[in-house]
Amino acid sequence: MSGSVRRLALAAALLVLVPPAAQAQEDALRDAILDYMDFATYHQGILQPQQIDRALFEQAIFVDARDASEYAQGHIPGAVNIDWRAVPREVESLPDGMIVVYCNTGTLSAQAALAARLMGYDNVVMLQGGLDGWRRDGAWHPQ
């Protein structure tokens, strides 16, 4: 049995075994995701490096979603390091205000920011282009 056939068989078996309450939760989550995607604007939840001027830089909370070793090699000044998988869990512990999540290029941080936004944290945005984009195109860099 191939891996994809095995996965399909497992998924079908799980669907049969899922209790009705769990299925209702899954349906509610599915509906919430579809509602978000239906009404999200093209740039919703995204911040461009060119938009980070001094005022925004000083007000926003930057979250480096890379692993600790990458963070140690260099990051946006003042950024806190929270692994991308933990961002949706940890967002409540951060101060109020705009939370800008980034990684190297924006791939992992996009997943973290989307998960947090789907959980209702509208103040979480993803830095398009990540750290690389900010270094190259950021409107302001501290001295």
List, by residue number, the catalytic residues.
103
For residues 57 and 55, give the distance between their C-alpha atoms in angstroms, rounded to a whole number: 5
- Coil, helix or strand at residue 68: helix
The residue among 61, 115, 120 whose CA lies nearest residue 88 is 115
CB 57: neighbour CB atoms within 10 A? 19
| Helix extents (H) in the chain | 3-17, 20-39, 54-59, 68-73, 87-90, 107-118, 130-137
The residue among 97, 107, 101 whose CA lies nearest residue 82 is 101
